[in-house]
Structure 1
């Protein structure tokens, strides 16, 4: 028998004949025991239908109910927790790591469980499932759909059909959370989404890739190139890639975040492309412009937070997103912390949970019409 949660696990295999199911439908589930996760009760690994950048596909995740909480009557709300970037492939999907007690963001998940919330954790588009290719890292719409469809699929579990939900994430997870807020009015208007908390948001991937290319975080720039190439495969996005670059993409597509950072440290994208600044190619300018956050107005309240000393995702990107949301009338709050990227993730967690608690106590305030 194959060990649960490995890349050879049949539970995560994609159907050979495509996917014929409505977005948000729960396709299969199996119970798992998370003895090492504080506050965890019954939990399931799930596979559900979602919509990628352009086509239906299966996605995987984990749904964790809280252990009994004194004074809690009836099912609590659902938090969809969006993890930060774990890698492009292999055994780095959150559902694999949670099952093995190795998920690095377990503290944030436990903080929500201890509130009596059910926590749903998406693996993200193409991560976790086998046969779909590398994770669509930085693909905003596909990531948002995976979040919203997991919220839909969670309603098929016992007692969760009418539970209100909130969304929380940091870094790339914060980007996904913000995109979920933007996409929800059109993509999943029936969801009772009460609010979103998003920290260290990667609001402008084009600006970020240019900033980190060739430096200590260069592996993330390569991951962005690979992830967006996968999401925009219907466009000639790989026309600049050299033969050596195609080999690198094949190898990097199976690596986790740590291996990517070590292997491709200080290696610029121009090393694998026919020009030193591939992000300035017309097709890539279109892709990156299309991936800028703030193009649609969320209709739920949004809490943004960021580290003033963030050397990976500059705070100006978070402030620009805040200004864009404010200009279209989004119900907003902002908090900055005098610390680093990692420090803000830790320092901002308690306030994020407290803010989401407040959101759950009220209905969303109607926002202005969608703005493009």
Structure 2
């Protein structure tokens, strides 16, 4: 009998000495998704991607085809980005969607499958793969690369006729952040993808402002998770200088926890408890890191649908309104919808409009004005 607590060899990290192409499939296996309504065949994938600073790294995800036979091949591809699942542990979406089907966002994925779309769900960078953690939470460029490279991997899967398939991206909360970063990075990082549009709800557009807002409250565990995730993403910088000895021990413990454990363990505990100063986000080095993680500085070349709840107690609606205004000022084809409900309520209530927007985007190729860009090592 297989020990459920034993490491899964499929998710062991392969050596990338050969510098694989971003999106290249390194490992794959078929899996069952019996609890996912509308699903047909599914594959767990390990594929090549890049960190925020262009280093090759393996990532994992899952790809699911719709049950409707006429759409099983040549169907549009939706990359669905889940909300924050944790820094470590067995909480990767590609694992939760298979077997017992305990992924909390299953209903949104099922809705897309019912549309006849192929759905690809990336695990967050550093999550799922053995030995690569913790998850690089809040690192926008790394998340964008994982999203776009999974779309590339789907195009390369031999069982599908998806090489020319149009694609879209959808996400909420941290998943919404990954979605807009993918839209911003796509023209330079993955220009060959036929990206048609993006839907993103409750986007964490300014992590620095959010961390200061939630510090010491019920969501304080997410602030600590952001410190851990960005420390991993910016490991080439001495970002750990702000931590006390107790802080280093706390970080070591936190990087093994899923979202529920992080929120329960560190509720109402300010970051200053583990740092040399009470406001670590105001440290000059961390100000640089957090400023570098602000969305809305680059114009997506595809339509974007943003939505947010006016009663959102986690991500203030003003943050979403600000991103909408930034995109409008950049000339992006952006739409906006508010819902008079909470963070969780908006995820459910806004799904129908998000799907409708995505369906419209997938039917029409956007009128893109191509802007020349200098060569980038990320696209080689």
The TM-score with structure 1 as length reference comes to 0.96
Counterpart among 265, 272, 278 of residue 267 in structure 2: 265
Structure 2 vs 1, CA of residues 203 and 17 (structure 1 numbering), >3 Å: closer, same or farther? closer
- For residue 209 of structure 1, report the CA deviation from its aligned partner: 0.2
CA-to-aligned-CA distance 1:90-112 (integer Å, 9 cap, x gap):
10110111113100000000000
Name the residue aligned to 2:153.
153
CA-to-aligned-CA distance 1:105-140 (integer Å, 9 cap, x gap):
000000000000000000011100011120000000
- For residue 365 of structure 1, report the CA deviation from its aligned partner: 2.5
8 Å contact kept, 1:2–1:9:
no
Count of residue correspondences: 369
Give the secondary-structure state (helix, strand or coil) at the position aligned to 1:239: helix
Residue 197 (structure 1) aligned with residue 162 (structure 2): no
- For residue 329 of structure 1, report the CA deviation from its aligned partner: 0.5
- For residue 73 of structure 1, report the CA deviation from its aligned partner: 8.1
Structure 2 vs 1, CA of residues 74 and 153 (structure 1 numbering), >3 Å: closer, same or farther? closer
Which aligned runs of 4 or more in structure 1 are off by greater than 4 angstroms?
1-4, 16-19, 71-74, 367-371
8 Å contact kept, 2:168–2:197:
yes
Residue 162 (structure 1) aligned with residue 173 (structure 2): no
- For residue 295 of structure 1, report the CA deviation from its aligned partner: 1.2
Name the residue aligned to 2:25.
26
Name the residue aligned to 1:97.
96
Residue 334 (structure 1) aligned with residue 336 (structure 2): yes
8 Å contact kept, 1:2–1:8:
no
Structure 2 vs 1, CA of residues 50 and 214 (structure 1 numbering), >3 Å: closer, same or farther? same
8 Å contact kept, 1:19–1:58:
no
Counterpart among 212, 217, 222 of residue 220 in structure 1: 222
State the distance in 1 between where 2:184 and 2:328 align: 13
- For residue 366 of structure 1, report the CA deviation from its aligned partner: 2.2
Name the residue aligned to 1:49.
48
Counterpart among 313, 316, 322 of residue 314 in structure 1: 316
- For residue 143 of structure 1, report the CA deviation from its aligned partner: 0.2
State the distance in 2 between where 1:122 and 1:302 align: 20
Give the secondary-structure state (helix, strand or coil) at the position aligned to 2:239: coil
State the distance in 2 between where 1:370 and 1:277 align: 41
Structure 2 vs 1, CA of residues 258 and 370 (structure 1 numbering), >3 Å: closer, same or farther? farther
8 Å contact kept, 2:71–2:117:
no
Structure 2 vs 1, CA of residues 268 and 35 (structure 1 numbering), >3 Å: closer, same or farther? same
State the distance in 1 between where 2:20 and 2:181 align: 23
Residue 128 (structure 1) aligned with residue 131 (structure 2): no
Give the secondary-structure state (helix, strand or coil) at the position aligned to 1:163: coil
Structure 2 vs 1, CA of residues 106 and 3 (structure 1 numbering), >3 Å: closer, same or farther? farther
CA-to-aligned-CA distance 1:249-307 (integer Å, 9 cap, x gap):
01100000000000000000000000000000000000000000011100000000000
Give the secondary-structure state (helix, strand or coil) at the position aligned to 2:238: coil
- For residue 364 of structure 1, report the CA deviation from its aligned partner: 1.4
Name the residue aligned to 1:12.
11
State the distance in 2 between where 1:18 and 1:211 align: 42
Name the residue aligned to 2:111.
111
8 Å contact kept, 1:297–1:369:
no
Name the residue aligned to 2:84.
85
- For residue 75 of structure 1, report the CA deviation from its aligned partner: 2.1
The TM-score with structure 2 as length reference comes to 0.94
State the distance in 2 between where 1:7 and 1:310 align: 39
8 Å contact kept, 2:206–2:294:
yes
Gaps of 5+ in 1: none
Counterpart among 195, 211, 214 of residue 213 in structure 2: 211
State the distance in 1 between where 2:301 and 2:11 align: 34
CA-to-aligned-CA distance 1:144-163 (integer Å, 9 cap, x gap):
00000000001112222221
State the distance in 2 between where 1:7 and 1:190 align: 39
